[in-house]
Structure 1
């Protein structure tokens, strides 16, 4: 007879089982919170890309990159600064912060250049390769292995990306290679964000996320500077910094609640925002294959959300 069996042979829960059940429920709820923050961050990033494409008609892409980083840095420092939060500039992982910031800058610059030649729905579809890369690397690098059902959902979502981009059609624009390189940079950036979640605060990581880009872009922008032609353009420059700063703060906070492998597939929801903004701002109507691919990737994301809610109820 087992030591966990009481009078009459009825099984009695072990002490560690009593603790494990609520701990698992709390972990599931934390993952759901992380997913919600991730989706909000992606809405901000969609607005950022739409503004970047719009501003590209009035200035060089590098000036748009400079606008995005310097405005975001100013806004972040207003909220998170050493006066209000002593020690906010101190990081326990300086090299990871530096590499992560450089990867984000590279991803942003490549994407902003590609946006001048591609539609919003095209660039975001290529960026959808990011979850596939993250899912592959998060296991060996972070020890966050995903289960077979999540693997299946990621693969199905990636097939949806192929439906959108149609690499077999022979109509691959050279700017798509820039977007793909940017997706690789962004995938590693996401992994490093997760690595920093347990060491530096969201405020510290938010500052370093934009500080590197602001310094590099400031050194380069005098070579391509164009004076903004109107107050509307100036407002757009301020707004792009806001969406960038707030979006990345949401992203950083989300990684503090859920593993990278869980959050990564929800990048697919960004296509809803990108298609909508492309139609409203640039009168770009998505092709039938874009809508079909979007339906596939959204379905994969919704299935993952269903799995998380099922675990939370359990």
Structure 2
């Protein structure tokens, strides 16, 4: 029996992570008309925080002896996570799930561009052109001024901005800070903030079906975390990362089956452009990383 390579295992885990995260999004969206936003985020966050704490403990990554600077960076990252959760879920409640997912696929491009602009990271002309083309694809999805445009498209873009900030901030952390600890702090911050914010809302009692959907959202987001952490520990990141786009296909299928939503031709075209340019950017970054790794060896 042929042995599965680390890269293929990583790809399968990344695909599993994206599928389970998107199923969580579907369960969350189904509750948009019946539960207040912060009540939903708070109740889901309790399960996520407990699970991440257990995972961090089992992996030996539950540590509290980090330098004060790293704690400050983690809490700043958590603030960006709170903003991302608010804007993303609000957009999800009010837009087709595939449209929101398509806009979020621009993240690899926005992180690369922001890294070049604010952290002086190298960005060649090929990747720059790919990024600009990718943002053109986003405009096909959002279509400002078009008949289908609404304010929640801007919420989805605001979520992209928050997550981009989150991913840039984490690069300032010391390498000794455990990744699970970073995720745990963010989940804890989101849960606490959501709990406080929910006091401004009128809490709603849940039916058994609604509680089941909330439980489904919690379970699937937990499995998403487990798969995504495992994916980053197996195989090469440059090979595994492009499989994150499985979330878009999953969102299209779930939107059609459960919400009777199907993206327009322009949205699909824009999503295709974003995915193509994102994959090109990821492969280009992988190639450059390999080149940087080889050159010092030759110097020695």
Bin for the TM-score computed over the shorter chain? 0.7 to 0.9
Separation in 2, partners of 1:60, 1:172: 24
Q: Which residue of 2 aligns with 1:106?
A: 83
1:85 aligns with 2:63: no
Q: Return 5+ residue gaps in structure 1 as ranges.
A: 1-28
Asked if 2 retains the 8 angstrom alpha-carbon contact of 1:32 and 1:309, the reply is no
Q: Aligned residue for 1:63?
A: 39
- TM-score, length-normalised on structure 2? 0.77
- Post-superposition shift, 1:174? 1.7
Q: How far is 1:69 from its partner?
A: 1.5
Structure 2: runs of 5+ lacking an equivalent: 295-300
- Who is 1:234 aligned against? 211
Equivalent position SS for 1:169: coil
Aligned to 1:11: none
Indicate how the Cα distance of structure 1 residues 43 and 193 shifts in structure 2: closer, same or farther if over 3 A, else same. farther
CA contact (8 A) 2:108 2:278 kept: no
CA distance in 1 between partners of 2:231 and 2:174 (Å) = 9
Q: CA deviation at 1:262?
A: 10
User: Is residue 180 of structure 2 the alignment partner of residue 215 of structure 1?
Assistant: no
Q: What per-residue deviation string (whole Å, max 9, x for no partner) do you get for residues 127-160 of structure 1?
A: 3443343122213544542433333333332222
Cα pair 2:19 2:250 within 8 Å, conserved: yes
Paired with 1:265 and 1:304, the residues of 2 have a C-alpha distance of 10
Q: Is the 8 A contact 1:38 1:254 kept in 2?
A: yes
Q: Which has the larger radius of gyration?
A: 1
Q: What is the CA–CA distance in structure 1 between the aligned matches of 2:164 and 2:189, rounded to whole Å?
A: 18
Which residue of 33, 44, 47 maps to 2:20?
44
Q: Counterpart of 1:294?
A: 271
- Map of 1:128-143 to 2, 5 A cutoff? 128-143=105-120
Aligned partners of 2:113 and 2:152: how far apart in 1?
A: 25
Partners of 2:276 and 2:106 lie apart in 1 by 16
The answer (yes or no) to whether the contact 2:127–2:281 under 8 Å persists in 1 is: yes
- Whether the 8 Å contact between 1:131 and 1:264 is mirrored in structure 2 is no
Q: Aligned runs of 1:1-314 on 2, under 5 Å?
A: 40-81=16-57, 85=60, 87-92=62-67, 93-169=70-146, 171-196=148-173, 198-222=175-199, 223-230=201-208, 232-248=209-225, 269-304=246-281, 307=284
- Give the Cα separation in 1 of the matches to 2:205 and 2:179: 34
SS state at 1:167 partner: coil
**Deviation by residue 1:57-101 (Cα, 9 ceiling, x = unmatched):** 3211222211232110011123323x8737524434101110111
Do the aligned residues in 2 keep the contact of 1:38 with 1:250 (CA within 8 Å)? yes
CA RMSD between the two structures: 3.8
Choose between structure 1 and 2 for higher RCO, CA contacts under 8 A separated by at least 6 residues. Answer: 2
What TM-score, normalized by structure 1, do the two folds share? 0.74
| Alignment size in residue pairs | 284
Contact persistence 1:111–1:179 (CA under 8 A): yes
Shift of 1:113: 1.7
